[in-house]
Amino acid sequence: MVASSLQLRDVGKSFPAPDQPLTRQPVLETISISLEAGELVSLVGPSGCGKSTLLRLIAGLDFPDSGELLVDEEPISGPSAERGLVFQDPNLFPWLTVRRNIEAGLAARGVLQQKRSEVKEFMRLVGLEAFADAYPHHLSGGMAQRVALARALINHPKVLLLDEPLGALDAFTRMRMQDEVLRLWQNRRTTMLLVTHDIDEAIYMSDRIIILTQRPGTIEQIIPIALDRPRDRSSSDFLSLRSEILELLHFAGNRTSEVTA
Amino acid sequence: MLQGQKISRQSQVTVGSVPSDQVRAESTERYALSAQEKKHPTAALLTVPVTAALALGIHLFVAKNEPPNESRTYTIVLGSFFAGAIVAAVMQRWWPALQTRMRRFRPLFTVGVLLLCVWEVITSGFRMLPLPYFPSPAGVVQSMINDRGLLFDSTWHSLVLLLSGYLLGVVAGLVTGVCIGWSGPARYWGMPLLKVVGPIPATAWIPLAMVISPSALISAAGLIALAVWFPVTMLTASGISNTRASYLDVARTLGANARYLVFRIAIPAALPSIFVGLFMGLGASFLTLVVAESVGVKSGLGWYVSWAQGWAEYGKVYAALVIMAVFFSTIMTLLFKLRDRVLVWQKGMIRW
Ligand SMILES: Nc1ncnc2c1ncn2[C@@H]1O[C@H](COP(=O)(O)OP(=O)(O)OP(=O)(O)O)[C@@H](O)[C@H]1O
Ligand SMILES: [Mg+2]
């Protein structure tokens, strides 16, 4: 599977203000990012700055007011299985069992018959084989998130957009899933854009970290992470980078407002 | 490793047992021994046989006021109920399934038999109600047995008519409901039509139906279908248009086409609402069936009731009503069973 490159040029998006429907409030302004094929980039920013909105634009579920979004130099015209999105809420289909939820990606493209063997593999990947026949209602929040992750991964998207996919997991599972996601990323060289509130996760996983400002979200800073992989969370390089970024966020936080990190 | 173990152990406890066992456990718990039953286990066992014996006694006491053949038949009915109650009370010791069932239905049976006693006392016993309008239970049972051929035939005709009308209405309602719920233009044109035509009770169309249709049977099926169509369409449309947008968004990022969105996302998401429509439609279909049969169609239970009434044979009227009650509630129960199967995934999410 080849990865895709991703270009955002001066993207802006606004929504009708909740109190006065006639005026629009900007949510994203002049966002320009370029992701190389196979790059893993994290997106960090305060709550409500438009991170989820940005991912929806890239997924093709919404359209920008201004600017343009390109995948492999082609403008994005709508959703596609080549751009997978793991939503902030797991949004599992409650009428399907765990297995059928994971199969949904294949079924939606009509390739379930040919690729059924992969379902087991992804169920093992997220550690939910024992729950194959359970309905989503019986899962914990973290389990549901893992199912949602498997459901998006099974389509082998060229671009994978992750909206805090590991947010509801305990520290231990979280670290294991980070390694699993990294392993998938390395095997398939998928282009990934990861929204996270966890600075350690951002440093551990990404090639670059993009920091957004308070709403309307603009790019505050882009920090390249030049550490060798596999990274060691307790190495001195890691820790000094971490305190550097926290200081930066604190500085940014003073100027805008508090950054949830 | 550790994680995997933890998960599989959890699964045995929660998921494996949730769908059936836990629910069964719950229901046994609800009908567990009451304090009295624990104190007097034999007394509790005997409530149904004892009431049956009481009913039999009362019946034999008032039997002199009843025609002998009616009385004999009713004696046999009550006698076999009494014998059955004794057998069940004895058998339940070795048959746990029967035991739970008995425990659950014991109060209902007891009160039901007592009501039969009251009925017999105020009709045959004291003759408090005018004949022939209020026959005794013995009279009703006798009519049922005497006229069993015609009653069976009528039930069969009603069943065929009901099912053909109901299924036609459901199919039509699902199609129009999905169209109106999913597509903007269909909603624009369909909704006003639905709002204007839908609330008219199907029975109000009877005069028109009689004029246009070649046969009373076809027009009755059409009227039942119309009665079912409206609630099914309404609730299907509202279920479809209330599908959570995020489910559709997820499916679209998975590469779903419009067909998948409608049939695999919107319709399953709307099923709880669709079932409400199916139940409302079923109620409407019973009503329409009986009315249509009593005014136009020359067969079925509705026709039988008005025919028997014409001859002032009220025993037969009540016999038909009893059969109607059993017939309709059986169909209702079947629909509940279907819902329980189709919507298992809701178990635990809503009050079941
Ligand atoms: N469909 C919509 N209509 C109106 N306003 C919206 C809509 N979607 C998002 N917004 C607004 O856009 C802003 C950004 O929302 P978004 O969900 O992108 O934030 P976020 O950065 O993902 O926040 P969080 O970290 O809390 O998830 C919010 O103020 C929200 O109210
Ligand atoms: Mg968000």
User: For the segment B51-73, what is each residue's pLDDT rounded down to a tens digit?
Assistant: 999 999 999 988 888 888 888 99
Q: Supply the pLDDT for residue A84.
A: 94
Spatial separation of the C-alpha atoms in residues A222 and A35, rounded to whole Å: 12
Q: Tell me which of B99, B131, B163 is where a domain ends.
A: B131
What is the average pLDDT across A42-69?
94
Q: In whole angstroms, how large is the CA radius of gyration of chain B?
A: 26
Are residues B203 and B320 located together in one domain of the fold? yes
Q: Which residue range forms the structural domain that includes residue B127?
A: 29-131
Q: What is the model's pLDDT at position B80?
A: 94
Which pLDDT band, with edges at 50, 70 and 90, does B214 fall under? Answer: confident
Q: Ligand 1: which of A11, A24, A44, A51 to mutate, most ligand atoms within 8 Å of CB?
A: A51
Q: Name the residue of A29, A53, A86 whose CB sits within 8 Å of the most ligand 1 atoms, as the mutation to test its pocket.
A: A53
Residue A246 pLDDT exceeds 90: no
* Cα within 13 Å of Cα(B309), Cβ side: 11
**A-chain residue closest to B256, CA distance:** A108
Domain-ending residue, one of B96, B131, B166: B131
For residue B185, which amino acid is it? P
Binary contact (A104, B251; C-beta < 8 A): yes
pLDDT of residue B34: 62
**Per-residue pLDDT, A136:** 94
Asked whether A53 lines ligand 1 (CB < 6 A), one says yes
Pairing of strands A6-16, A66-71: antiparallel
Distance CA B256, CA A85 (A): 13
Residue where one domain finishes, among candidates B102, B131, B160: B131
Q: State whether B121 and B155 are in the same domain.
A: no
Average pLDDT over residues A63-74: 93
Residues of A with Cβ-Cβ distance to B247 under 8 angstroms: 91, 93
Please identify every residue whose CB atom is under 5 Å from ligand 2, which is an ion. A 52, 88
Distance from CA of B8 to the nearest CA of A (A): 5
> Mean pLDDT throughout B330-346?
95
Q: If pLDDT is split at 50, 70 and 90, which confidence band does A254 have?
A: low
More confident residue, B42 or B26: B42
Q: Is A108 on the interface with B (CB under 8 A)?
A: yes
A17 lines ligand 1 (CB under 6 A): no
Predicted pLDDT of residue B47: 87
pLDDT the model gives residue B53 = 93
**Same domain flag for B102 and B161:** no
pLDDT band per the 50, 70, 90 thresholds, residue A252: low
> Residue A50 C-alpha to ligand 1 middle, in angstroms?
5
- Mutation site, A101, A138, A161, A178, interface B, largest B CB count within 10 A: A138
Nearest-atom index, ligand 1, CA of A56: 18
Domain assignment present for residue B16? The answer is no
- pLDDT above 90: residue A101: yes
pLDDT at B45: 80
Q: pLDDT at position B39, please?
A: 64
Ranges B11-25, B107-121, B231-245: which has the least confidence? B11-25
Q: In this predicted structure, what is the pLDDT of residue B8?
A: 41
Per-residue confidence at A98, pLDDT binned at 50, 70, 90? very high
Residue B2 located in a structural domain = no
In a domain, B352, yes or no: no
Cα–Cα distance measured from residue B216 to residue B295, given in angstroms and rounded to the nearest whole number: 10
More confident residue, A118 or B27: A118
Residue A27 in tokens: 């949510």
Assigned token pair, B6: 């933890």
| Secondary structure (DSSP) of B90-133 | HHTTT-HHHHHHHHHHHHHHHHHHHHHHHHHIIIIIT--S-TTT
- Same domain (yes/no): B156, B41: no
Confidence of residue A253 (pLDDT cuts 50, 70, 90): low
Q: Scanning the structure block, which residue is given the tokens 């671009």?
A: A159
Q: How confident is the model over B2-16, as pLDDT tens digits?
A: 444 444 433 333 333
| A67 CA from centroid of ligand 1 (Å) | 19
Q: What is the pLDDT of residue B229?
A: 96
Any residues with CB less than 8 A from the CB of B261 and at least 6 apart, and which?
Answer: B248, B251, B252
Statement to judge: residues B104 and B209 lie in one domain: no
**The pLDDT value given to residue B26:** 46
Q: Is the pLDDT of residue B23 over 80?
A: no
On whether residue B155 sits in a domain, the answer given is yes
> Residue A238: is its pLDDT beyond 70?
yes
Per-residue pLDDT, averaged over B157-186, amounts to 96
Give the N- to C-terminal CA distance of chain A in Å, as an integer: 34
Tell me which of A21 and A9 has the higher pLDDT: A9
How many Cβ pairs within 8 Å bridge chains A and B? Answer: 100
Peptide bond preceding B199: is omega within 30 degrees of 0, i.e. cis? no
Provide the pLDDT confidence category of residue B352 given band limits of 50, 70 and 90: low
Mean pLDDT, rounded, of chain A: 89
User: Are B42 and B161 found together in one domain?
Assistant: no
Kindly indicate the confidence band of residue A157, based on its pLDDT and cuts at 50, 70 and 90: very high
Q: How confident is the model at residue B44 (pLDDT cuts 50, 70, 90)?
A: confident
Q: How many domains does chain B have?
A: 2
Indicate whether B155 and B114 sit together in one domain.
Answer: no
CATH number where B317 lies: 1.10.3720.10
Based on the fold, state whether residues B320 and B236 are members of the same structural domain.
yes
Q: Which residues of B touch A (CB under 8 A)?
A: 3-4, 7-8, 10-12, 14-15, 18, 244, 246-247, 249-257, 260, 264-265, 268-269, 271, 344-349
Which atom of ligand 1 approaches the CA of A62 most closely? 1
Residue B336 pLDDT grade (very low, low, confident, very high; cuts 50, 70, 90)? very high
Residue A27's nearest CA partner among A55, A56, A58, A48 is A48
CA dist B218 and A205 (Å) reads 70
pLDDT > 80? residue B1: no
CA distances to A85, A86, A118, B8, B9 from B4, rounded to whole Å, are 26, 23, 19, 6, 9
Q: What are B296-318's pLDDT values in tens digits? A: 888 999 999 999 999 999 999 99
Ligand 2 centroid, distance to B235 Cα (angstroms): 33
Report pTM: 0.86
Q: To the nearest whole angstrom, how far is the Cα of B165 from the nearest Cα of chain A?
A: 30
* Cβ atoms A34, A222 nearer than 8 A: no
Label residue B213 by pLDDT band (50, 70, 90): confident
| B341 and B305 within one domain | yes
Q: What is the ipTM of this complex?
A: 0.91
Residue B1 lies in a domain: no
Instruction: Give me the helices (H) in B242-256, please.
Output: 245-253
| Residue B256 covered by a domain | yes
B218-272 pLDDT, tens digit each: 999 999 999 999 999 999 999 999 999 999 999 999 999 999 999 999 999 999 9
Task: Tell me what pLDDT residue A247 has.
Answer: 85
Closest-approach residue (CA) in chain B for A60: B253
In chain A, whose CA is at the least distance from the CA of B270?
A95
Query: Does B235 map to a domain?
Result: yes
Closest Cα in chain A, distance from residue B170 (Å): 22
Of A93 and B129, the one with more pLDDT: A93
Chain B partners of A105 at a C-beta cutoff of 8 Å?
254-255
Ligand 1 neighbourhood includes A28 CB (under 6 angstroms): no
* For residue B109, pLDDT beyond 60: yes
- How large a percentage of chain A has pLDDT more than 70? 95
Show the tokens assigned to B36. Answer: 């009295």
Q: For the ranges B26-40, B80-94, B105-119, which has the lowest average pLDDT?
A: B26-40
- Is the domain of B241 the same as that of B333? yes
pLDDT in tens, A102-135: 999 999 999 998 889 999 999 998 889 999 999 9
Q: Are residues B91 and B168 in the same domain?
A: no
pLDDT at B25 exceeding the cut of 60: no
Residue B23 lies in a domain: no
What pLDDT is stored for residue A19 in this prediction? Answer: 85
For residues B284 and B340, state if they share a domain. Answer: yes
Structure tokens at B335: 């629909």
